[in-house]
Structure 1
Amino acid sequence: MIPVRNASKRSYIILAIIIIIIAIGYWLFASFYKPALPVKMNSPAFSLSDLHGETVTEAQFDGKIRLTSFIFTRCPDICPATTANMVALQSELQKQGQFGNEVEFVSITFDPENDTPEVLQQYAERMGIDQSGWTLLRGDENKVKDLASQYNLSIVRLDDGLFAHSITSLLLIDGKQRVRQIYRMGEDMENEQIITDIKTLLKEQQRDS
């Protein structure tokens, strides 16, 4: 006969082992399903015009990863550097067959007075923008500023007619209209990290579909 004290001790050991196994299992489960890119905010609704005067809303990007920048074509430094980096990202995604299919780019001007459809078209051609997967949008200046403010971005018109704006105005948005990452613009853009984050969201979408 097993002494009661030993039996009780063995029961506690077995119970402790079970609790440890459950805790490890929960930790592994949580780690596996925890989003690598946390949701920062919901991406607000918008209604703007493309270069053909057609209305574009956020719903047209449902189910696709979207990299969105706020720019103006008269910008002397940050905006063209950002667009050039996005063109490099565009090329990489084209090689993977994902550009325009699973991933789209959007650039929104906050200087509609100068950035007419013709000016934006010239900008696209000059910078190498592939409009099959990259949409350039414009709208009323105050309307765009309000949209930017909902992303916690600041845009201020200066006395010379140019603009000062947040240098963190590059947004990675998932197919469920949620902002997952916000990047620095210009020469400091980390293209490799952006590609990695895009791939992370693509895998997440495949897993959830």
Structure 2
Amino acid sequence: MKNYKYIGITFIILIFGIWAVPKIVDRFSGNKVAMTVIGKVPSYQLTNQDGKLISDEDFKGKVYVVEFFFTTCPTICPEMNENMTKIQDEFFGNPNFGIASFSINPEYDTPEILAAYAKKHGISHPNWHLLTGERDAIFELANQGFNLYAAYNPKVKGNFEHSGYFALINKQGEIVSRLDEYGNPKGYYDGLDPKDLNMLKSDIKKLL
């Protein structure tokens, strides 16, 4: 009986080892980047630049990038969306890629305003949705849902302040992050940093 017991334990260890090796290789290989889930995308339903209702369900099965912005932003938004347009162009022909840009000034950013903004800034990917709705719901989505800061502040230029980071979402509707060399999640991607943008492109390709 003891021999059978040891054979059983050996078999379990062998099976576990076969399963675990690819995970270890993926985590530590210099040729691959390990990624992890850091959150789940909350439910939402907002209106895009074409006047169409878009929800988180519309992005299921797609890899997409999330940002918070507003069309009259006088500071970081123009550069963020210039960089986002480059990401759009990189994956333009891929129907499984998308972008969700949430306006934090929805009272001004109507679908008509967003459509004009899209045209002006070369936003043409069919899965790039500029989204507007109720401000409190969008602020909750930013701050609690995606952990990307957004707030109204009449003391700052433009009256709003927000994070300049992009969130990456996988096909399962999860917020994902690459791990650094110490095994810690990087979190988000700086929308103003060329190095981060290159990492983002690489990670999108990995998820696609």
Larger deviation, residues 138-147 vs 47-56: 47-56
Q: Are 1:171 and 2:167 an aligned pair? A: yes
Higher mean C-alpha deviation, range 151-160 or range 57-66: 151-160
Deviation at 1:57, TM superposition (A): 0.8
Which residue of the other structure, out of 88, 91, 98, is the alignment partner of 1:90?
Answer: 88
SS at 2:123 equivalent: coil
Go from structure 1 to structure 2 and tell me whether the alpha carbon gap of 1:189 and 1:120 turns closer, same or farther (over 3 Å shift).
farther
1: CA distance, partners of 2:195 / 2:134: 28
Q: Which of the numbers 182, 191, 203 marks the counterpart of 1:185?
A: 191
Secondary structure of the residue aligned to 2:175 is strand
How far did residue 118 of structure 1 move?
1.9
5+ long unaligned stretches in structure 1: 1-14, 203-209
Q: How far is the alpha carbon of 1:167 from its aligned partner?
A: 2.7
Note if contact 1:48-1:137 (Cα within 8 Å) is conserved in structure 2.
Answer: yes
Q: Contact conserved, 2:45 with 2:56, CA < 8 A, in 1?
A: yes
Give TM-score, length-normalised by structure 1: 0.77
Whole-angstrom CA distance in 1 between matches of 2:200 and 2:78:
18
Matched residue type, 1:31: I
Q: 1:155 to 1:24 in 2, by over 3 A?
A: same
User: What is the total number of aligned residue pairs between the two structures?
Assistant: 180
Q: How does 1:54-203 map to 2 (within 5 A)?
A: 54-94=52-92, 97-98=93-94, 101-149=95-143, 150-159=145-154, 162-168=159-165, 170-181=166-177, 182-187=188-193, 190-202=196-208
Moved over 4 A (4+): 21-27, 32-35
Structure 2: gaps (5+ residues): 1-6, 28-32, 178-187
Preserved CA contact (<8 Å) 2:65 2:99? yes
Residue 106 of structure 1: CA displacement?
1.3
TM-score under structure 2 normalisation? 0.77
Q: Percent identity?
A: 30
Equivalent AA in structure 1 for residue 176 of structure 2: R
Structure with the higher fraction of residues in helix conformation: 1
